[in-house]
Each structure stands twice: as C-alpha cells, then as structure tokens.
Structure 1
Amino acid sequence: MPVISKKKKGLSESLSVPFILLIIIMSIVVFFTFNIAMRAYMRKAAHEQLLETRSTVGALLRKELSEELLSSDANDATTAKSRALIVALNSAIRVTQSASDSEIAILGANGRVLLPKEESLSYNLNQAIAKVQDRILEGKNTDTFNIREQGTNFLVSYETFNTTKVASRTQYLVIVASLEGMEKLLRRINVLLILIMSGVTILGAIIASSVASRVTKPMKEISKYSKRMIENDYTPLVLETHTKELDALISDMNHMGEALELKEQTKVDFLQNFSHDLRTPLMSIQGYAEGIVTGIFETPQKPAQIIANESLRLKHLVDQLITLSRLEANGLKVNKETLELYDFLNLLIERHEGIATQSHIQIVLNCSKDLKIVTDEDLLEKAIGNLLSNAIRYANSHVIMDVTSQKNKVTITVQDDGPGISESVLPHIFNRFSKGNDGNFGLGTAIAFKAIEQLGGTLFARNHSKGAVFEIVLYEVHRSLNDQ
C-alpha cells in the first residue's frame, strides 16, 4: 500500500507560528482579564460612590423636606419650592459623581412617586422606580441593583427615610446613576488595548520571522553542503551565524567533510595500490605459465614453484580482505575458552621464526608460563600474528613481546627496534585504508584492531625511542590468576 506523504511545514514556519500564536493567545487572555477586572472595579467604585451619595442626599432630605413639601395638596409655592430643591439635589449629585447622568426621586410609603411629578419623570427613572416599587412590595426597604434599559446599564439604589417634622411617615429615596460614561471609557480603553496588542502581534511576527530566518538560512546552506558532499565536493562551508550551536554544527560538518574527503582519497589510493599488489603476482603467474606452455624453460620446476608462491601470495591478500570484511560485519563467531597464554604465544613465534631468521631478526618472549586467559584462540592469533609480521618486517635486529598481568587484565606488547610509525600515519594506523611508511597498503593492523575489539579488548599503537609499540589489553583473565 503506497504511503501518502503529508505536506510538512518548513522550519521557519514551525519556529515562528507557535511564537505568534503564543502572543495572540496571551493578548486575548490579557484583554478579557483586563475587561473583567476593570468592569468589576468600576462597578464596585460606582456602587460605593452611589451609596455614599445616597447617604449624603438622604441626610439632606431628612433635614430640609417638610410634610408640606411632600403632601399631594401642596400649593403652588410649596410645589415650586420642592422642585427647586430637587433640581438643587440633582445638581449636587452631578458634581459629586463622576458619572454625570444621575437622577433622584422620592416615593411615598406605598411606593407612589412624590417628587418629582410623574409627568417630568425620564424614561430611565420611570423604569427604575417601577423596579423599586416591585421590591418595596416584596418587603425590601433598602437595596442596590443594576438594570439595563435601551442598551444602557443603570445602577439603582434606594432607602427609607423620615422627615424631621413627621417621623412616623416613611418615604423612599431613589437614586439612579447611568453607567454609560463608564462603558464609554472602557470602550476607549479596549480600542487602545486592541491597537497595542495588534502592534505587539505584528512586531512579534516580525521578530519571530527574523529569528526563524537566522536559523533556517544556515540550515539551508548546511543542507546544500551535505548534497555537495554526496557529489564528492568537500569544499569547507564558510558561514557566520552568530549562534553557538549552529557554528558548532557547521564546524562538525566541515570536520566530517574533511574526514570523508580523507577517507575517499585513502580508499582511492588503496584500491590503486591494492590492485597493483594483485596485478603483480597475476602478471608473474601469467608470464611463467606462458613460458612453460611455449617451452621457454628447460625444466618447469622452478617457474612452477614461483607460480605456486605467487598464488599463495594472492590467496593471502584475498584471505585478509575476507577476514577484515567478516570482522567489520561481525560475521566471525567468537568462541571463548581458557587458553595457556605462554604456550600459545610460543607456538605463534615458532611459526614466524622462518621469516624472522631470513631477515636476521631475533624474537624475544617475556611471559609467565602459568598465565591463563579466557579468549577466542583464532581471533587472538589473527591479531597477534599480524602485529608480529609487521614488527618483523620493520625491525632492525629484534622484536620483543612482553606480557604483564594485573588482577583483572592482561597486557601484551609487541615492540620492534625499527624506524617507528610516522606521526602522520599514527592516528590512522588501524584504518583499513591506512598507508604504511614504505608506501604499501596493509590490512594487518586493521584486522588486529577489529579482532581485539570483538574479543572485548583494546589495541593501542605508539612510538618509543627505538621503534613502534603495539599494546593489547584483554580483560577476561582466568580465575586462577585472580587467586594469585
């Protein structure tokens, strides 16, 4: 079933969009939180101010209003006086309150409007009085509440009072304050908030885009560089990012490019030289075989022996390649068992005595005869055998093999008195494409390294004053050694 690939977001979008969304969400939260808090504060302030005004006006009414001013049969002079008093009280309220739209009314004990006259009542005051009358009938003598009429909120407060001259008669003082001024102020603040938050969002989007660009631009260049490396173009990437992590990434990419370039060049050189190593014995075999066929040689024994030797040389090269490939692929099974190390090394040296004698090289072994380790004999033979062959090849007069043991490890060193390892070769000595001091490409050190690695040990190479030293450290020591 074919996999349907979804369109993925770009890195710039992935970085900037969450940042912009965060700004928008925070702006919305701030906007609504501010509105809720501001409305609560304004209503509380208006409520407290209205109660204070009601108390002040109530005290004034108790002192100034008389029974005659409130009676229904008052004469014209009394009515004019009451109206003047109401106008004065309304003016006082407008000065006292921040909201200018405030009105008062006086109701009788049964809720009937006493002042001002009903024909002069505004629509809002009339609606407020109707609500107050309902509450009076419910037995509530004092209350403060909100009403909404014609799209405007009003705060209504009323209380009972008695005139000083007729204390037994109860009236109701009603004050209605419009909250329209507060609503207008809040709307203006909201417009200002929206403008500020829009500006912050736009500024945040610009900043997020800039930051994302500073990240994505180097990433695009790094992507181009990686594609160039695929095409074997390892020209270093020069890019200043002003970001520590990206600079480190670019530096690592350049180092990787250098390593790949070196590996690629070494591989090419290895193949060229190794093909030469293969071609030389093949040409020798071909030449001697043709000579035998054409009868150039009087006796075929000598050319046949040369052909056999060159065939063995070819087999050795091919075997080394196969062995290294299997080691790198973990294709060799590790069978560990207890091994008498002295006997093992002594036998290995005997196998190399012929080559060493021909080169006038002496091999010295320093090892305890009762030392035992748990290891794979075949892998250990491949490792030490290759190191010993290399040591014999480069030694001037002798090769020393030292074995030292501690409680939980054994160290085997193979040391020659040759020219040592070139400093340029030493860091890459265990690379399968490493080139030796003599210009030859050998697989022995690479095989030794991989073999010891599979045994769970370590292999080091260094120079000393009189040649090269290869040091093997193995950690699985026989129990009898630990008891010593």
Structure 2
Amino acid sequence: MMEMEPKKIHKRHVKPRIFLMLLLLLAVVFSSVFVAFNLFVSNYIRSNVETQLDDLVKDFGIPNDAPPDKPKQDGIDLPDLTGQRKNKIGARGEVIILDSGYSIKSYNEFSINEDLDELTQIASYLKEKNVPLEDARYVFVDTDQGEYYISSVEDTKQPGSYFVFYVSVAGLNHLVDTINLAMAVLVAAAMLICFFVANVVASSITKPVKTLSSFAEEIGKGNFQRKALSFQDVEFDELGEVMNQSAEKLDAYDKDQKAFFQNVSHELRTPLQSIRCYAEGVEYGLMDPKKSGATIISETDRLSELVEDLLYISRVDSLTGRVELRENDLRETLALCAESLRPVAGKTGLAIKFEFDDNPVLLSYNEKHMYRAFSNLIANALRYAETTITLRCGRDGDQVAASVIDDGPGVSAEDLPHIFERFYKGRDGKHGIGLAIVKSVVELHGGTITANCDKGTCFTMRFPAN
C-alpha cells in the first residue's frame, strides 16, 4: 500500500504572522466599532429628527392667524417656529410653503441657515422624486447644498398649498464624517504600533526558540552537557529545564549503554575464551577430550543463559507501556514458581516456607514476566540460604507486597546500593543480570523493589493495589 505524501505546508516566519494576526484583530475591532458607531449615530439622529418633525407638524401644521410682526408673502401666513422645542442634537426646524407644482410660495427670509438656492434645490428634489406633499413623512433629501429630512402637510386654509417642514442634518453628518476620519487616522497609527509590537513580541519568542533549537542540535550531536538557560517567560524557562533534564537522562543512558556493551563484551569473552582454549587443547591432543567436552558444555550453557538474559532484559525495556496485564492472584504465581524450584532446594536440603494472606491477593500483571522475576529472586535465594527460604505475599495498606527472604549471610553494605545495577556482581554472583531483570519487571508494572539485610537478605516488591 502506497503511503500518501504529506501535504506541503507554506512556512512563514513568526514576525509577519504576528503582524498579520494583530492587523486582523485591529481590522475586526475597528470594523465593529465603525459599523456600530455609524448605525447608532444614524439611528439617533434620525430618531431625534423624526420626533422634531412630528412636533413641528403637530404644533404648526395648521397655523392660526399670524401676528402682524411675522413675515407674510403674497398673503400667505408662515407658521411661527420660534416656539419649537429644542432637540438633543441641536438642529433647528424650518418651513417653506410649496404649491402642488412644487414651486416655492413662501419662505422665511430671516432664516440664518438657508438661502433661496438651497430651498429651490429642496423643492426640485421633491419634484424629481415625485414626493406626495399631502402627507410626506421623514423624507431624506440630499442636495448639493446639504442634507435634510422633511415632512409636509397641506394648508387647510389654502388648498393646493403645503407646509414643508425640514431639518438640516448636514452639520451632524459632517461631524460624523470627521469622527470617522479621526478613527481612520487612529487605525493607521495603530497599524504602525502593531508593526513595532509584532517586532518586539516576535523577537521575544524567536530568540528563546533559537537558543533552545541550538541546544537541541547540540543534544542531537551527542553533547549532553547541561546548559545554563534563563528566560523571562515561564514557559520557555520550563522548556529549557525539561531539555536539560532530558540531556542528563540521555547522558546517563549513553553512559549506561557504553557500560552495558563493555560488560557484555567482557561477559561473552570469558566463556568464549574458555571454550576456545579447551577446544584447541583437544585438537592438539593436550587435554582429555571427555573432561574438555564437559567444560565446553558447561561454558556453553553459561553463555546461552547469559545471552537469554540479555535478550530478555532488552525485550522488557522495549515493552514500556505496552505489556498485556490481567488480574490474577499474586499468591498463585509465587507459589507456582516456588514449586518448580523445590527440587533444586531439596538437593541442598533447603526448606521453602510460605506466609501468604488467607484472602486472594489480586493484582493486574503480566504473569509470564512476574513469574520470571519471582524465579530470579528464588534462584538467588537458593544460592545463599543456609536452611530456609521464606515467601510472603499479601496486602499492605493500599499496596500489594511480595517478599523473598533467605537466612544466608546477607549482602554486604558495600554491595547493597548496587545489586540492581546491570552486570554488577557481588560475592559469589553470576553475571549480574538476574536482579536487574527483576527490577525492570517490577518497574514495568509500576512497582518498586527494595532489599535489606538485617537477618539474611529480604527482597520486597511493592505494587499499587488494584
């Protein structure tokens, strides 16, 4: 089956990515503020203008007789708007009178804000849009002179004449445009700030990354020396410490591997040299073939056992987190292992004593590997015990404990800290792999193993209870 090629990823530097992200954030925020501001202001202005036009139509749309000091044109009375209520936006309402043909019949000559051209444009716009003057409401008028909202009503005293009330919003719209321009300028300034911020932030990220990358490269080259790293950011500082710890572990592992191969070479060389020596003696007629053959077989068995142990511990090391576990009674596995070795104990006159809990000692473990660990411990006890080997198994609080105890001379204080190290051989030791296998199996199951030598030697395994 052909493997699919991974998709090519377009790689970019951190700095432009941060800058683009900041720009995107700025664009989203500004757009949201711009739209919300303009919608709010537009609705606010329209709402106030509509209220003002409604008041003008209601209060002045059907005028009474105008006082003599108010302006008159062609005998037509203009409504007096001096008493109009003030609105929140500060815009003042005005009025003109149009006939049905949209011609101006009257207007306020004393208006400060409007002139005749402006009023003519309003009338022309209404005529162009064919706005019905009988009851127009809130019509937006956009001319060259300005922007307005208008409402109109027919003059009941003079049919064919229409009061057109209007409010100019040009000044307000100009203010809104000015604010929008100011916001645009602020955005431009913010873009410059974003550029500098992106540069600073990117530098604060890329510099530690480059330092850690260089450190990782050194580790890859086999230089596991601890490096003094200090960063302002906690995350980078923690990463640096983790990398230092990893380097120390790799250094220890590398040294262990070198020592392992040196010890393996030594342990393999000794029986091989012995086999070669006896084989050459037989070949040249210098040694008795029968005795030499027995020695060669013995050394071959020793070599096979060593190779088997090496392969086994290698397999255990590679099984971390992937071993199949089943719930079993730990007493049964320990008893079964002891019974298989009872003939060996009988040959040397050793007794095997059981001190087990009455209730099942349930634990999830791999029976094959646990059997091997118990076998190594009991075999070790058989070499050193004088009269009795005691096996214990039971619950100890929230733990499961299993012990193998012999009544021999015990391990010396000098050897005790090193007995679980690979290839470490104490007094009368074999090749230094057996107890290392036990430790690996126990750790594979999340447990611990200890040894003490108060009376003989006691090896105790402890596991978290199910």
TM-score by length of 1: 0.71
Deviation at 1:312, TM superposition (A): 1.8
CA distances 1:437-473 after superposition (whole Å, capped 9, x unpaired): 679963223433555688x795523436456543346
Q: 1:21 aligns with which of 21, 24, 32?
A: 24
Aligned position for 1:195: 185
Distance in structure 2 (CA, Å) of the matches to 1:470 and 1:396: 13
Equivalent residue number for residue 316 of structure 1: 305
Whether 1:154 aligns to 2:154 is no
* Alignment-mate amino acid for residue 18 of structure 1: M
Q: Distance in 1 between matches of 2:462 and 2:98?
A: 109
> Match for 2:105: what amino acid?
L
What is the letter of the counterpart of residue 301 of structure 2? Answer: L
2-side partners of 1:68 and 1:269: how far apart? 116
Alignment-derived partner of residue 481 in structure 1:
none
Conserved? CA contact 2:134–2:152, under 8 Å = no
Partner of 2:275: 285
Question: What is the identity, as a one-letter code, of the residue corresponding to 1:274?
Answer: V
Pick one of 41, 44, 64 that aligns with 1:41.
44
Aligned partner of 2:120 among 123, 126, 133:
126
Against the structure 1 CA distance between its residues 211 and 425, is the aligned structure 2 distance closer, same or farther, given a 3 Å change threshold?
farther
- Cα distance change, pair 190–342 in 1 and its aligned pair in 2 (3 A): closer
Question: Aligned partners of 1:343, 1:369: CA distance in 2, in Å?
Answer: 16
The CA distance in 2 between the partners of 1:335 and 1:158, in whole Å, is: 92
In the alignment, residue 187 of structure 1 is paired with which amino acid? Answer: D
In structure 2, the residue matched to 1:443 is: 433
2:344 is the counterpart of 1:351: yes
CA-to-aligned-CA distance 1:311-357 (integer Å, 9 cap, x gap):
22111111212333444556999999995864641441442566x78
Call closer, same or farther: CA 1:185–1:67 in 2, change over 3 Å: closer
Report what 1:7 is aligned to. Answer: 10
The aligned amino acid for 1:39 is S
1:213-228 equivalences in 2 (<5 Å):
213-228=203-218
Name whichever of 258-267 and 36-45 sits farther off: 36-45
Deviates more, 1:134-143 or 1:145-154: 134-143
CA RMSD of aligned residues (A): 5.1
Q: Which residue number corresponds to residue 354 of structure 2?
A: 366
* Larger RCO (alpha carbons 8 Å, 6+ apart): 1
Is 1:402 matched up with 2:391? yes
> What is the correspondence of 1:160-179 to structure 2 with a 5 Å cutoff?
172-179=162-169
Task: In structure 2, give the amino acid aligned to 1:366.
Answer: F
Q: Distance in 2 between matches of 1:353 and 1:104?
A: 127
**Partners in 2 of 1:137 and 1:65 — Cα distance?**
33
Question: Which region of structure 1 is more displaced relative to structure 2, 6-15 or 362-371?
Answer: 362-371
Q: Distance in 2 between matches of 1:471 and 1:136?
A: 104
**Structure 1 stretch displaced more, 398-407 or 468-477:** 468-477
Shift of 1:252: 1.8
State how 1:60-459 maps to structure 2 within 5 Å.
Answer: 62-64=65-67, 69-71=72-74, 98=90, 104-107=95-98, 113-116=104-107, 122-130=116-124, 138=132, 140-141=134-135, 143-150=137-144, 152-159=146-153, 172-297=162-287, 299-328=288-317, 342=335, 344-351=337-344, 364-367=352-355, 379-391=369-381, 395=384, 400-405=389-394, 411-416=401-406, 417-419=410-412, 425=418, 429=420, 433=422, 435=424, 442-449=432-439, 458=447
CA distance in structure 1 between the aligned counterparts of 2:95 and 2:374, rounded to whole angstroms:
112
Give 1:391 deviation, angstroms: 4.2
- For 1:208 and 1:445, the matched residues in 2 are separated by 58
Contact 2:310 2:433 in 1 (8 A): yes
Letter aligned with residue 388 of structure 1? I
Task: State the distance in 1 between where 2:311 and 2:204 align.
Answer: 49
Provide the TM-score with structure 2 as the length reference: 0.73
> In 2, Cα distance between the equivalents of 1:187 and 1:396?
100
Give the drift of 1:190: 0.9
Larger deviation, residues 313-322 vs 1-10:
1-10
CA distance in 1: counterparts of 2:311 and 2:130, whole angstroms: 108
Tell me: CA distance 1:219–1:310, structure 2 relative to 1, closer, same or farther (3 Å): same
Cα gap change, 1:468 to 1:152, in 2 (>3 Å): farther
User: Aligned partners of 2:238, 2:250: CA distance in 1, in Å?
Assistant: 18
In 2, are the aligned partners of 1:342 and 1:370 still within 8 Å (CA)?
Answer: no
Q: 1:178 to 1:370 in 2, by over 3 A?
A: closer
1:137–1:350 Cα change, 3 Å: closer
CA distance in 2, matches of 1:185, 1:239: 56
Secondary structure of 1:8's counterpart equals coil
Q: Which runs of 5+ in 2 are unaligned?
A: none
Q: How big is the shift at 1:55?
A: 7.5
Secondary structure of the 1:186 match is helix
1:205-241 deviation per Cα after TM superposition (whole angstroms, max 9, x unaligned): 4334433443343333333322322221112233222
Mapped to 1, the partners of 2:89 and 2:296 lie a distance apart of 121
Choose between structure 1 and 2: higher helix proportion: 1
* Contact persistence 2:149–2:166 (CA under 8 A): yes
Which range moves more in the overlay, 47-56 or 274-283? 47-56
Inter-CA distance 371–46: structure 2 relative to 1 (3 Å threshold):
closer
Question: Is this contact kept in 1: 2:48–2:89, CA < 8 A?
Answer: no
